[in-house]
Amino acid sequence: MNPVDIIIKKRDKKVLSQEEINYFIQGITKNEIPDYQMAAWAMAVLLNGMTDQETTDLTLAMAHSGQMIDLSNVIPIEVDKHSTGGVGDKTTLVVEPTVAACGLPVAKMSGRGLGFSGGTLDKMESIPGFRTNISEDEFIRLLKTTGLVLAGQTADLAPADGKLYALRDVSGTVPSIPLIASSVMSKKIAGGARAIVLDVKVGLGAFMKNLEDARQLSRLMVSIGKLSGRKVVALLSDMNQPLGNAVGNALEVKEAIATLHGQGPKDFTAHCIEVACHMLVVGEKAATLDDAKKLVIDTLQSGRSWEKFHQLVVNQGGDAAYVDDPEKFAQARLIETVPAPRSGYLKEINAQTVGETSVELGAGRMKKTDSIDPAVGIIIHHKVGDQVQKGQALFTIHANDEKKLADARKRLLGAHLWSDEKVDPLPLFYGVIQ
């Protein structure tokens, strides 16, 4: 067996055997397969797909490529959530502290930005000092004492996914159902989660552009979860327009803080409440979604979610002065609010264009080695369905470069589409797959 034959087989639309998949994934894990072969293979998978059996084999090979964590001696049931990636998706920052504050411990392994979608680690690292590089001992100690820990994927956890993920980000190989399903589920299985809520994004700013693909991805992940003895529920959520108003790392942390204080955007708050409720139900902390909703709303309104977030920041070395006074966060040098060029109803705010523009401003990576500018990003001031008058604030750009600011202005104006007729607001969710 050799890597080139495996790439050629997938290029020629053939089905890979479990042995071939194991061989390739072991090669990635041991650094025996160079980036260009990994990228060629990922592109062949993206173009030609995989059967459900191949995807399951790939998931298990990546899960077993490193340490398999078992937290059953530490907490009664490990519950996790995972988003398939969106624009303005800072859900983890609100949901995890809320669920932990409801009494259900959460050990979250988060990722970095991928393509035009943001990543929780990049967002949290805009809080000076915040560490996501947590040792196993510290991870367990924090989980036992606070019931909340947020860590990056360690080099030992599904390392084959870690390498492929970073490479997919910069090789145009993200939006593939088998690659996303195996990436998400390998981490959840290796991380020891017994119950998992998947937030499967669908729409212009998601990797799944239509409901049919999103359903297929959800069913595949639910079935991989079942095969490995995990309880999995997938929520199909809208990602045609950005979630909330803020896109960009520090801007999103600020919006999450406002939400924890009860002052967040309506759509984002409702989204977080729904995800948290499903976590409480699969984690057996609430018998029904209605019971969960009462608990979640009370926890958010009482300030306990905020206190838990604060504790998380302090525990992991973050400077609490920033979250106590978000004005302290790094500010971009150029801040420009662009007015609506006309009156009318907003019929589209293309989330992918907003995500890409944010990456171009410096909030994401174009190359693996790029660093992130925490201060830059975009605030959108309206949602699809809103009636807007000419001259009202449409969006605000936070930039550190004049040319990038001008490019962003142009792209974002093009991302807003108008109608003279009334337009219905977009739904938050399209369904649940159990």
Binding site for ligand URA (CB under 6 A): 84-85, 111, 114, 165, 179-180, 183-184
Report the distance separating Cα 106 and Cα 192, nearest Å. Answer: 12
Nearer to ligand URA, 187 or 398 (CB): 187
Report the distance separating Cα 173 and Cα 24, nearest Å. Answer: 17
Cβ at position 271, least distance to ligand URA in Å: 17
Q: Is-catalytic flag, 183?
A: yes
Contact call for residues 388 and 366 (beta carbons, < 8 A): no
Is 393 exposed, middle or buried (CB count within 10 Å of its CB: 0-12, 13-18, 19+)?
Answer: middle
Q: Which of 308, 263, 249, 261 is closest to 128 using CA atoms?
A: 249
Sign of the CA dihedral 144, 146, 148, 149? negative
Is 213 exposed, middle or buried (CB count within 10 Å of its CB: 0-12, 13-18, 19+)?
Answer: middle
Nearer to ligand URA, 359 or 397 (CB): 359
Cβ at position 352, least distance to ligand URA in Å: 15
Nearer to ligand URA, 311 or 358 (CB): 358
Q: Is-catalytic flag, 82?
A: yes
- CB-side exposure of 326: number of CA atoms within 13 Å? 15
Q: Is-catalytic flag, 80?
A: no
Q: Is-catalytic flag, 271?
A: no
Cβ at position 101, least distance to ligand URA in Å: 25
Cβ at position 176, least distance to ligand URA in Å: 8
Report the distance separating Cα 363 and Cα 123, nearest Å. Answer: 9
Q: Using CB atoms, what's the residue nearest to ligand URA?
A: 183
Cβ at position 423, least distance to ligand URA in Å: 30
- Check 108, 187, 254, 382 and give the catalytic one: 187
Sign of the CA dihedral 134, 140, 141, 143? positive
- Check 112, 168, 308, 365 and give the catalytic one: 168
Provide the edge-to-edge strand list for the sheet that holds 429-433: 148-152, 106-110, 79-83, 195-202, 231-238, 429-433
Q: Which helix (H) or strand (E) holds 256?
A: helix 249-260
Nearer to ligand URA, 174 or 251 (CB): 174
- CB-side exposure of 299: number of CA atoms within 13 Å? 26
- Check 81, 82, 230, 271 and give the catalytic one: 82
Nearer to ligand URA, 168 or 271 (CB): 168
Helix orientation angle between 402-415 and 351-358, rounded to the nearest 10 degrees: 170
Nearer to ligand URA, 85 or 192 (CB): 85
Q: Is-catalytic flag, 347?
A: no
Cβ at position 36, least distance to ligand URA in Å: 20
* Catalytic (active-site) positions: 82, 161, 168, 183, 187
